[in-house]
Structure 1
């Protein structure tokens, strides 16, 4: 029996990342829960890449150190519901082998057990038939195998985990009605199988054949196989739903109470996954209006890594029924929005949400009237709405508006207020 070294753990999850890269599109094609937007594979891959960035090869780190680095990288780079849950899988895994030079079979079983606990505890309202179920099932199978054979090799135990994950995934449609309706297995669960399989092949010196076979079969018995992509009829129906916004950010502060924050966000949102520690808490939620959630976050601490995605638009893209875009025109828009925002990240956020231009500025770096007018002139719209997004910038915005009757100020005092106002903006509406 040979325990896993730090380099073994690193190479295993590096191979898992490559496996996710290969099968990302297949995982995306299954994504119908909690929102049919086709991004689960992408989110899990981006999370894994962030985890691996903290683990340089051949640095002599112990198994415990590698696991800790993976968990840290996954936390800071987690994307989407599935990515945040995956980051907690790594957190529990790392906590179990902290301080260990190597990872033997009993250590691996403990790691999977704590990974399960951490993943479940992160979710405000856990749902079975998802990647959580797959994680719990593989953990239980590993513990049962270890209880029956205390001398088992950790690589053999990893095979047990992979096999159990495949079996659990095949049952997800019977546990979650939306999967049955769409005719698919769970996308996040499929991602976990791909991760475990990729790692297993590296540890056992095998090629990726069994992972490829699992993907090709849809992870189920051929006699009862589900589709490898969501039924188009289900996706067509899903477009009638108003999905809202996937909203994610990190709260930074001191003495943060992650459990209390999770309870609060669970009450005001769907799909709440809240994780972190005393200093940093990552929040992932689905809401119709991100504004109140962002505002509440600012009462707790400083916000960073704010990311807001229009899930209804993602749903349209995924379903392949996106409305025909108007022909590209060189004509200036009749109505546009120009916002003031501090930092490249928030500037990107406002542009993605529909701003024609973003002027750099905020609490301590107020833009001038000249800068605002220059940005507005560059847009060349018939009418322009200005979002100052800071109470110190409102007066400057009003001075700019005084130069032209077609300039209009919405006196937003904070970035969350600006986001809320922008999300309500429809360029096809009348100004009033």
Structure 2
């Protein structure tokens, strides 16, 4: 066994960087499998490895006799410049923490305590909205444990205690973060940090800790439940990205602390997972998850000089990482995105697979549901759940030589029902999609709601409790109550013709309202048929379609 080091010089710090790269490379796929937060894109291990490799490459360029401070500064500089993903950015701050404390002399037990504390502070300051149960939590516990070591503890003792505390904290992350607990995994970035701290223990003591007996290295995310099609039951979706479907990263120069602060505020408005870190030398690494990547880059232009801009789409990245596609399955499936128990039953009864998303659905969830169907031809009824730009992204990611995916322009559930009514599996897919799209386009749709607060609409100001009638997404009726708004909405939409009105009743529809509206149609619009179905959707008292 090698004699334990009492301090770390520049050469030992370079050696630690290489051991970190080797350790992350060997555990990359394991760490990737744990990746469920903030986005389940299975790349945390890859991001940590890429970042650490960039740091090690930068340190390799330092002169052979460089001091520990010079090597630490090179590691921090390389990590900030090459950081990938949330975890990579946080890792850069671990290395910067060492650089901030390291001087011309070697790192000993006391300075390592200070470096870990500084790293924990920098990491916490980098994140706009800290979340417990992540790599930052694990780092904080490691730093606290090192600081609590009795004065006089040697370097090997300090780094061993820190690594052990990190492993212990990692095991608690599923109870701290709901997404981890639900998936039955520990935090992926936290596991990466344990690997890095264990590498430091190995360099100092000559022995890398063996942690194979801990569940933190044996946990794998469970396989997602299948969406049965075409007549399978509704499937609850897992809401993970909150509409933040792009990851934007860039380096920022020619800026200052004031403008970087303003940039952070702007990015907080645009999205989440905002992390901005500096290398201590006038360069910052910027990271955000958002729906509008162009706006995130424009914010950087206002703050300084962005460079090395990287924009990733989670859905497309997932498509690139998936295994080779299976052979085309026979038949055609319909996938409908639906909210409400009654509406889901209607679509399932007509042979459609249902993606239940009573909360906002993300492109990642829709893409996963399409893939799990296992059919060579899939027609998707998005029913207004996603904007056109995101649907295009999903379509690009879902198609390949063995899978034809067509996303139909259904902007509401009632349009989806109209489209499904003319579905013919015996037709060629594109002809079937055309007929269904035409049926959806000729269905005028609207909804009836109650105003939750005073607001300005295109036709005037509504007060809390007013009944609101909408055609498409625009308010066309404001009335003192829902019944009056419903009558006027029907008069409005039937004023230009129509033979059939479909009413999809929401979960909060008042008793008797459907009968009242049916009587109104019979009295004032003779010859028009009314069909009523329970929808169960929240928000709208009812949704209507007119054909």
- Classify the TM-score, shorter chain: 0.5 to 0.7
The equivalences for 1:14-29 within 5 A come to: 14-29=18-33
Return the match for 2:219 from 194, 219, 228: 228
- Stretches of structure 2 lacking an aligned partner (at least 5 in a row): 228-236, 330-388, 397-405, 409-547
In the alignment, which residue of structure 1 is the partner of 2:293? 290
Larger relative contact order (Cα-Cα within 8 Å, sequence gap ≥ 6):
1
TM-score (norm 2): 0.54
Deviation at 1:278, TM superposition (A): 7.8
The answer on whether the counterparts of 1:37 and 1:318 sit within 8 Å (CA) in structure 2 is no
- Cα 1:240–1:130 shift into 2, 3 Å: closer
Q: Secondary structure at the match of 1:219?
A: helix
Matched, 1:264 2:266: yes
Q: Within 1, Cα distance between the matches of 2:182 and 2:79?
A: 32
In the alignment, which residue of structure 2 is the partner of 1:337? none
Matched, 1:82 2:87: yes
The equivalences for 1:325-344 within 5 A come to: none
In the alignment, which residue of structure 1 is the partner of 2:11? 7
Q: Secondary structure at the match of 2:41?
A: coil
TM-score (norm 1): 0.68
Q: Within 2, Cα distance between the matches of 1:266 and 1:235?
A: 35
1:402-422 alpha-carbon deviations (Å, 9 max, x no partner) = xxxxxxxxxxxxxxxxxx999
Q: Within 2, Cα distance between the matches of 1:240 and 1:127?
A: 15
More divergent stretch after superposition (230-239 vs 76-85): 230-239
In the alignment, which residue of structure 2 is the partner of 1:124? 128
Matched, 1:60 2:65: yes
- Stretches of structure 1 lacking an aligned partner (at least 5 in a row): 221-226, 327-419
Return the match for 1:142 from 142, 146, 150: 146
Deviation at 1:209, TM superposition (A): 6.0
The answer on whether the counterparts of 2:155 and 2:204 sit within 8 Å (CA) in structure 1 is no
Matched, 1:218 2:215: yes
Deviation at 1:302, TM superposition (A): 2.4
Deviation at 1:267, TM superposition (A): 2.3
The answer on whether the counterparts of 2:128 and 2:264 sit within 8 Å (CA) in structure 1 is yes
In the alignment, which residue of structure 2 is the partner of 1:101? 105
Q: Within 1, Cα distance between the matches of 2:186 and 2:255?
A: 41
Return the match for 2:316 from 313, 317, 334: 313
Deviation at 1:263, TM superposition (A): 2.4
The answer on whether the counterparts of 1:239 and 1:316 sit within 8 Å (CA) in structure 2 is no
The answer on whether the counterparts of 1:243 and 1:312 sit within 8 Å (CA) in structure 2 is no
Q: Secondary structure at the match of 1:91?
A: helix
The equivalences for 1:421-432 within 5 A come to: none
Q: Within 2, Cα distance between the matches of 1:247 and 1:321?
A: 28
Deviation at 1:424, TM superposition (A): 7.2
Equivalent residues, number? 323
Q: Within 2, Cα distance between the matches of 1:189 and 1:302?
A: 32
Deviation at 1:312, TM superposition (A): 2.5
1:30-71 alpha-carbon deviations (Å, 9 max, x no partner) = 000000010000000000001001222881122222111111
In the alignment, which residue of structure 2 is the partner of 1:344? none
Instruction: Provide the aligned C-alpha RMSD in A.
Output: 3.1
In the alignment, which residue of structure 1 is the partner of 2:75? 70
The answer on whether the counterparts of 1:89 and 1:119 sit within 8 Å (CA) in structure 2 is yes
- Cα 1:179–1:191 shift into 2, 3 Å: same
Q: Within 1, Cα distance between the matches of 2:294 and 2:311?
A: 11
Whichever structure has more helix as a proportion of its residues is: 1
1:62-86 alpha-carbon deviations (Å, 9 max, x no partner) = 2222111111110110001110111
The answer on whether the counterparts of 1:14 and 1:199 sit within 8 Å (CA) in structure 2 is no
More divergent stretch after superposition (54-63 vs 167-176): 54-63
